[in-house]
Structure 1
Amino acid sequence: MNEKAILILVSLGMVLCLSACAELKQTGREIGHTTKKVTTAIGHGTRDTVKAIGRETKEVVEEIKE
């Protein structure tokens, strides 16, 4: 009788552990995707700003030459 109770408790513990691992994995995946989206947005914003500054600088230099 004691061995059956231990087997049931161990089985229940393993099932709960697997469930917790799946939740942690999903949470990690969501954090990773969100981080990728944010860094991509920052990178694109920075790139666009640098390009705009470059264009404006080029126009100012051309006006000065004239």
Structure 2
Amino acid sequence: MYKKVILILVPLSIMVCLSACAELKQTGKEIGHTTKKVTTAIGHGTRDTVKAIGRETKEVVEEIKE
């Protein structure tokens, strides 16, 4: 009797665990991709800001020289 219950519960438990692992893996991928996109956006924004400041500084220095 107990052997039959164990033979049913063990595979069922394994299937449930594998399903949960797949969902956790997918959630992790989504978090990773979102983090990458946000970090890239911040990096590009910072780069553009620094370039703009550099251009403006260069123009000011050239005006002072004249």
Pick the TM interval, shorter chain.
over 0.9
Deviating beyond 6 angstroms after TM superposition, the runs of 4 or more aligned structure 1 residues are none
Q: Structure 1-normalised TM-score?
A: 0.97
**Unmatched 5+ stretches in structure 1:** none
* Secondary structure at the counterpart of residue 39 of structure 2: helix
Show structure 2 runs of 5+ residues with no match: none
* TM-score normalised according to structure 2 size: 0.97
Look up the match of 2:33: 33
Identical aligned pairs, as a percentage?
86
Alignment deviations for residues 6-27 of structure 1 (CA, whole Å, 9 cap, x no partner): 1101111000000000010000
The aligned counterpart of 2:23 is: 23
> Which residue identity does 1:58 align to in structure 2?
K
1:1-66 matches, within 5 Å, as 1-66=1-66
Q: What code does the residue aligned with 2:11 have? A: S
- CA RMSD across the alignment: 0.6
